[in-house]
Amino acid sequence: MKVVIMGCSRSGARVASSLDHNGHDVTVIDTNPAAFLRLTNEFAGNTIIGTGIDEDVLRSADIERADAFIAITNSDNRNIMAAQVAQRIFRVPEVIARIYDPVREDTYRRLGITTVCPTTMVSAQIMDYVIGTIDPLRQRNTREG
């Protein structure tokens, strides 16, 4: 599978390295060349310096042949815009965007983008831990009482 990733953030680099390790054809785009240092030493994919909201940069990443596009920079709006470029201009079959703001995430999910919202995921997991620890405690207390 050919995957284009915009944003060599911690998560971006991790996804890129894993996909590459699993034998996929990966291209990573980032405005900051130092960000590519986050990739593993074994990473054999391509890196492109530039911004993924520029159609020409996406074209140089060969996005026209991509099976998936992942927008995972630290800017919600940049991810949203790039995802829509990939979806509407280049017709990439699978487009995924990281969006921190839950309201924006909901809005763009309705517009057909696959969205990942770290804010809701992290808070849900923390809630699970909190409720998971409180409930057994309560049960224990009830039993003891």
Partner 1 sequence: MYIIVVGGGKVGYYLTKTLLNEGHEVLLIERDLAKVDVYSERFGSVVVSGDGAEASVLAAAGAARADVCIAVTGDDEDNLVVCQMAKQKFHVGRTIARVNNPKNEHLFKLLGVDVTVSQTNHILNLIEQAIPERAFVHLLSLKHAGITIIEATIPEDAAIVGKSIENIQFPVDCVIAAILRGPEVIVPSGATTIVPGDEVIAVTHHDQEDELRRLLVNA
| Among 15, 61, 68, 85, contact with partner 1 (rule: CB under 8 A) | 85
CA atoms 115, 118, 119, 124: torsion sign? positive
53 near partner 1, rule: CB under 8 A: yes
- Give yes or no for residue 38 binding partner 1 (CB under 8 A): no
Asked whether position 60 contacts partner 1 by CB under 8 A, the answer is no
- Taking CB under 8 A as the criterion, the residue among 23, 42, 103, 141 binding partner 1 is 103
CB of residue 131 vs partner 1: minimum separation in angstroms? Answer: 27
Region binding partner 1 by CB under 8 A among candidate stretches 9-17, 27-35, 80-88, 132-140: 80-88
32 forms part of the interface with partner 1 (CB under 8 A): no
Give the number of other CB atoms < 10 A from CB of residue 54. 13
Q: Enter the tokens of residue 95.
A: 């487009």
Residue 66 CA to residue 123 CA, distance in Å, equals 33
Tokens describing residue 13: 């680099």
Contact with partner 1 (CB under 8 A) among 107, 109, 114, 120: 107
HEC secondary structure over 92-137: CCEEEEECCCHHHHHHHHHCCCEEECHHHHHHHHHHHHHHHHHHHH
Integer Cα distance of 9 and 77 in angstroms: 15
- Considering CB under 8 A, how many residues would be counted as binding partner 1? 21
* Binding residues for partner 1 (CB under 8 A): 53-56, 75-78, 80-82, 84-85, 88-89, 101, 103-104, 107, 110-111
